[in-house]
Structure 1
Amino acid sequence: MSSSPRATGPAAAAGPDKARLRRSLREARAALDPVDRQRQSEALAFVVTQYLGGTAGRAADPASRRPTIAAYLGLDPEPDTAPLLRDLHRLGYGLAVPVCEPGYQLSWTAWAPGVPLRRSVRAPVLEPTGPRQAFEDLPDVALVLVPALAVDRSGHRIGQGGGYYDRFLARHPLGRPDAVPRLGAVYRSEVLPAGAIPAEPYDQPLQGVFTADGVLDTGTRRPPV
Structure 2
Amino acid sequence: MSRILLVEDDTMIASGILYALETEGYETNHATGIKDAGSLIEHYNFDLAIIDMQLPDGTGFDVSEIFKNNATSVIFLTVVDDENTIVRAFDEGAQDYIVKPFRIRELLARVRRILSVNIKNGEKDNIIYMGHAAIHTDEAKVYVNDKSIELTALEYRLLLIFASNKGILLKRQQILDKIWDADGNFVEDNTLTVYVKRLREKLGEAIHIETVRGMGYRVD
Larger helix fraction of residues: 2
- The interval holding the TM-score normalised by the smaller chain is 0.3 to 0.5
Between 1 and 2, higher relative CO (CA 8 Å, sep ≥ 6) is seen in 1
TM-score, structure 2 as length reference: 0.37
Give TM-score, length-normalised by structure 1. Answer: 0.36
